[in-house]
Every structure is written in structure tokens, then in C-alpha cells.
């Protein structure tokens, strides 16, 4: 943790401040006016100015690269489960007009649970024409 109790700055925060300092320099505005426009304190501006003299820490850049690499590998490793859209051998028509289709070989416990759940449903009433 940082000295003031805040968590350490992220790479995004470092890069934001780097861009902010470059923007101030390019704007030609004084630090006081620029900080007022940006809504940041002079002390933060100068603290980040000092930090960025040494550049963005290489460890943060490496950590970000590792994180992005891990995310890309994670995406590559995802496997999708194939599905089929075949007719179901077990079909239950509910009182509300809904239909439950179950695959062949569904267990007795699952079948009983579906029937019990269907039995608690209130019948749906169609609007009168």
C-alpha cells in the first residue's frame, strides 16, 4: 500500500497522469490554471510530475502485459457445449398452455420435480375475444 493508505496506482492511473502532464505542457496554460480547469490539485500535479520523471514503472507495464496475455489465453481455452434441436420424446402440456419438453432418459426425480412444479402453476386465462 502507498504511504497515504491508498492502494498503489494502477497502470491506467499512471498513463492518465502522463497524458494530463503532456496536455498541460501542450496547452501553454500555467499549472495553476490547468489544474483549476482539470479539477486536480497542484500538489497532485507536481507529485505525478516527479513520479513520471522516472517514467512509468516497468513492473506495471509487465503486469498489464501478463494480465492481457492471461485473458487472451483464457478466451482461447473456452469450449462451447454442442446442442441439438431434436424433438423431445417426453412432452408435458401445462394448464397455462406452456409445454415442457424433456430429453429421452430424463431421471425420475427430475420428471417428478417438473410435474410437481407444473401442478403449482395457476392456469392461464386467455383474453375473451
Statement: the pTM of the whole predicted model exceeds 0.85: no
Per-residue pLDDT tens listing for the chain (129 residues)? 455 666 677 878 888 888 898 999 999 999 999 999 889 899 999 999 998 888 877 877 787 777 777 776 655 555 666 655 566 677 777 766 777 777 777 777 877 787 777 766 666 555 555
Alpha helices by DSSP H, listed for 28-107, are 31-38, 42-53, 58-77
Angle between helices 31-38 and 11-27 (to 10 degrees): 130
Instruction: Check if the beta carbon of residue 31 is closer than 8 Å to that of residue 45.
Output: yes
Amino acid at each position: 500500500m502507498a504511504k497515504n493508505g491508498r492502494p498503489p496506482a494502477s497502470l491506467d492511473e499512471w498513463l492518465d497522469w502522463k497524458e494530463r502532464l503532456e496536455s498541460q505542457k501542450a496547452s501553454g496554460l500555467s499549472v495553476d490554471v490547468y489544474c483549476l480547469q482539470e479539477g486536480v490539485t497542484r500538489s497532485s500535479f507536481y507529485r505525478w510530475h516527479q513520479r513520471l520523471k522516472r517514467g512509468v514503472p516497468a513492473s506495471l507495464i509487465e503486469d498489464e502485459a501478463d494480465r492481457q496475455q492471461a485473458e487472451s489465453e483464457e478466451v482461447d481455452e473456452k469450449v462451447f457445449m454442442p446442442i441439438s434441436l431434436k424433438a423431445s420424446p417426453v412432452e408435458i402440456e401445462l394448464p397455462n398452455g406452456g409445454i415442457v419438453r424433456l430429453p429421452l432418459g430424463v431421471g425420475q426425480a427430475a420428471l417428478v420435480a417438473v410435474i410437481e412444479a407444473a401442478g403449482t402453476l395457476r392456469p392461464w386465462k386467455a383474453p375473451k375475444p
